[in-house]
């Protein structure tokens, strides 16, 4: 006999947990199937542990530079096992709300095993059969390894392996300079490893504005990272305790780089292999499940949310899509998933935050594109904090419509939200300028960038204003203002 459910959710990461908890709170009968631990990649192998590492790396960096603040310290020695103990404590604390007991208490039937489709509305798990009116697939993504000759024999880690290291490697070759590779490169360098970052793109964070990539490249160099931009990892061999990687650029120039450890952070793929999607008629594309604007897959009763959709691989998008899929899975009136304004942040130091189009994309797609900037070197609070690297860059279209916001600088991940809200509410750039901002805060960088919009307008009208003041002075000579009634 199959148990009957209004909704079966497969995958207990962010998207799955949000969907299951939301459905239970609405009074639906829900089953949640997770093959590992509730919490998913973000909690155990992603955002939470890496951000805890980012903090430790930042503390080490600050201690090393404490004399710039007039504080004398004996230098920073990193106790790697203690750092990793802290990471585990942070995960434990952040995961308190994700226990199976808590989900059972709120009315979710939790199954801890692998789910497999028998048909679009029937799922088998651990010898049980679940009959589902609707299903949400939220099985996430996993890292992939590019073809590099000899890498399997030489051995390497991905982010999961890197987070399980018990000893700090003396040297690390990081392959891939996207957000994960760039964050890890800086973390290991600040802990004291000798880091080489190999990237097929000429600058780190290839999806970001090149101006931002260039600033980050310089920051990484200052942290001691050796950056090989525009080079592809081709082969690896082992020499004693070291792995020797040959990397080659488009011109055919070869370089050998060495490291005790190799960390590959060069791409992600949807996790769907074990689901038997063919039994449910669910189509899988290269990046993720094929979904429509309501996050419905090619099986009419099956929805998808989170990394498995291959759209934006971020926890906050997984959460948003989880809510959207839940609503569409349970109710007849469907809501479109709105991906118009999606922000994200890379948590290097300084952080890199982004929403909307880059300048290049905007110029390709829109007329009348303008760019307004403010460097943090001109912001009083950044000066006081001694953190003046970076800038705010706002890209606008007609009548000051904000098309994109790009920040590299202190606390960029928080600062971007003002631009996100303006874009979401269709507020033009002028609103950032006319809104009173607290002094002295980093948020003034957004306001100063937006002030340039009005400054430019005023400059264009300067001749008109000059004519007005000239005429008024002439009038004042004929009849002084004090004598006017
Ligand atoms: C190193 C790293 C750092 C990151 N940092 C950030 C960050 O700072 N900010 C940010 O927004 N995002 C970050 N991300 C991305 C973020 O972790 C993901 O976007 C997020 O975890 C996606 O959530 P999800 O629910 O889609 O998938 P997941 O969290 O991956 O959950 C999927 C779950 O499904 C389970 N599962 C898979 N197949 C089956 C099956 N057949 N049966 C049952 N269960 C199954 C898995 O065990 C897993 O628990 C980072 C990722 C990495 C790798």
**pLDDT tens-digit map of 6-59:** 999 999 999 999 999 999 999 999 999 999 999 999 999 999 999 999 999 999
Question: Hey, is 355 helix, strand or coil?
Answer: strand
Q: Give the ligand 1 atom nearest the CA of 307.
A: 26
What rounded mean pLDDT belongs to the chain?
Answer: 96
Strand order in the sheet with 194-199: 226-229, 194-199, 171-175, 261-264
424 CB-contact burial (10 Å; exposed 0-12 / middle 13-18 / buried 19+): middle
pLDDT at 1 over 70: no
Q: Give the ligand 1 atom nearest the CA of 16.
A: 25
Interacting residues of 425 by C-beta distance below 8 A, sequence separation 6+: none
Give the confidence band of 482 by pLDDT, cuts at 50, 70, 90.
Answer: confident
pLDDT at 2 over 80: no
Where do we find the tokens 């430019």?
Answer: 456
pLDDT at 461 over 90: no
- Of the chain, the percentage scoring pLDDT greater than 90 comes to 93
Check residue 164 and give its pLDDT: 97
Give the confidence band of 177 by pLDDT, cuts at 50, 70, 90.
Answer: very high
Q: What is the DSSP string of 23-87?
A: HHHTT--EEEE-SS-TTHHHHHTSHHHHHHHHHHHHHHHHHHTGGGGT---------HHHHHHHH
The pLDDT tens digits for 383-398 are: 999 999 999 999 999 9
Question: Hey, is 408 helix, strand or coil?
Answer: strand
- In eight-state DSSP terms, residue 254 is E
Q: To test ligand 1's pocket by mutation, which of 18, 36, 40 has the most ligand atoms within 8 angstroms of CB?
A: 40
Give the confidence band of 466 by pLDDT, cuts at 50, 70, 90.
Answer: confident
Å from CA of 413 to ligand 1 middle: 20
Enumerate the H helices of 305-443 as residue ranges: 315-330, 359-365, 380-385, 412-424, 430-434
The pLDDT tens digits for 360-416 are: 999 999 999 999 999 999 999 999 999 999 999 999 999 999 999 999 999 999 999
Q: Whose CA is nearest to atom 3 of ligand 1?
A: 46
215 CB-contact burial (10 Å; exposed 0-12 / middle 13-18 / buried 19+): buried
The pLDDT tens digits for 182-232 are: 999 999 999 999 999 999 999 999 999 999 999 999 999 999 999 999 999
pLDDT at 417 over 70: yes
pLDDT, average across residues 111-129:
96
CB 154 within 8 A of CB 27: no
Measured at the CA of 98, the angle between CA 127 and CA 339, to 5 degrees, comes to 95
CB 433 within 8 A of CB 455: no
Largest CA distance in the chain: 101
Check residue 485 and give its pLDDT: 59
Q: To test ligand 1's pocket by mutation, which of 49, 295, 315, 321 has the most ligand atoms within 8 angstroms of CB?
A: 315
**CA atoms lying within 13 Å on the CB side of residue 389:** 18
pLDDT, average across residues 275-293:
97
Check residue 460 and give its pLDDT: 79
pLDDT, average across residues 52-79:
95
CB 287 within 8 A of CB 120: no
* 92: phi then psi, degrees, rounded to nearest 5: -55, -45
Check residue 480 and give its pLDDT: 80
pTM of the predicted protein model: 0.95
Give the confidence band of 483 by pLDDT, cuts at 50, 70, 90.
Answer: low
pLDDT, average across residues 336-359:
97
Check residue 464 and give its pLDDT: 87
Distance CA 213, CA 68 (A): 26
Å from CA of 64 to ligand 1 middle: 34
Distance CA 28, CA 34 (A): 19
Å from CA of 329 to ligand 1 middle: 21
Distance CA 31, CA 98 (A): 15
pLDDT at 290 over 70: yes
For ligand 1, residues with CB inside 6 Å are 10-16, 33-36, 40-42, 45-47, 50-51, 114-115, 138-140, 159, 180, 271, 274-275, 306-308, 313-316, 318, 347
375 CB-contact burial (10 Å; exposed 0-12 / middle 13-18 / buried 19+): middle
Each residue of 47-84: b (16+ CB within 10 Å) or e?
A: bbbbebbbbbbbebbbeeeeeeeeeeeeebebebeebb
Check residue 320 and give its pLDDT: 98
């Amino acid at each position: 006999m199959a148990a009957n459910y209004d909704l079966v959710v497969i995958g207990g990461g962010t998207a799955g947990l949000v969907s299951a908890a939301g459905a239970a709170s609405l009074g639906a009968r829900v089953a949640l199937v997770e093959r590992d631990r509730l919490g998913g990649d973000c909690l155990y192998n992603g955002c939470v542990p890496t951000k805890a590492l980012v903090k430790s790396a930042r503390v080490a960096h600050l201690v090393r530079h404490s004399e710039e603040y007039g504080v004398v310290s004996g230098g920073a020695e990193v106790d790697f096992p203690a750092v990793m103990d802290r990471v585990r404590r942070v995960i434990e604390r952040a995961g308190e709300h994700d226990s199976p007991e808590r989900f059972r208490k709120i009315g979710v039937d939790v199954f801890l095993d692998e789910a497999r489709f028998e048909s679009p509305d029937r799922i088998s798990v651990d010898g049980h059969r679940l009959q589902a009116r609707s299903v949400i697939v939220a099985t996430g993504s996993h890292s992939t390894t590019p073809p590099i000759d000899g890498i399997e024999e030489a051995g390497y880690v991905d982010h999961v392996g890197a987070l399980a290291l018990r000893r700090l490697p003396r040297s690390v070759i990081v392959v891939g300079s996207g957000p994960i590779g760039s964050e890890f490169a800086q973390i290991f360098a600040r802990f004291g490893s000798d880091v080489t970052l190999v990237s097929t793109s000429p600058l780190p964070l290839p999806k970001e504005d090149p101006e931002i990539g260039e600033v980050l490249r310089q920051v990484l160099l200052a942290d001691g990272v050796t950056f090989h931009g525009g080079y592809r990892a081709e082969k690896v061999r082992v020499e004693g305790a070291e792995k020797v990687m040959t990397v080659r650029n488009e011109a055919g120039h070869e370089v050998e780089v060495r490291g005790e450890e190799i960390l590959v952070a060069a791409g992600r793929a949807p996790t769907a292999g074990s689901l038997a999607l063919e039994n449910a008629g669910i189509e899988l594309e290269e990046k993720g499940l094929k979904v429509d604007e309501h996050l419905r897959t090619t099986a009419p009763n099956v929805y998808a949310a989170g990394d498995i959709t291959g759209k934006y691989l971020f926890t906050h998008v997984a959460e948003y899509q989880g809510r959207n899929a839940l609503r569409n899975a349970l109710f007849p009136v469907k809501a479109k998933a709105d991906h118009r304004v999606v922000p994200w942040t890379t948590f290097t130091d300084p952080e890199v935050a982004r929403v909307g189009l880059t300048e290049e994309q905007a110029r390709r797609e829109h007329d009348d594109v303008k760019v307004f900037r403010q460097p943090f070197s001109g912001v009083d609070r950044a000066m006081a904090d001694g953190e003046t690297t970076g800038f705010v860059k706002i890209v606008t279209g007609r009548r000051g419509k904000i098309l994109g916001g790009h920040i590299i600088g202190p606390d960029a991940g928080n600062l971007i939200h003002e631009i996100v809200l303006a874009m979401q509410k269709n507020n033009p750039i002028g609103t950032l300028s006319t809104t009173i901002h607290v002094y002295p805060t980093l948020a003034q960088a957004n306001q100063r960038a937006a002030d340039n919009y009005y400054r430019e307008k005023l400059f264009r009208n300067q001749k008109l204003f000059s004519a007005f003041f000239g005429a008024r002075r002439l009038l004042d000579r004929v009849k002084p203002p004090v004598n006017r009634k």
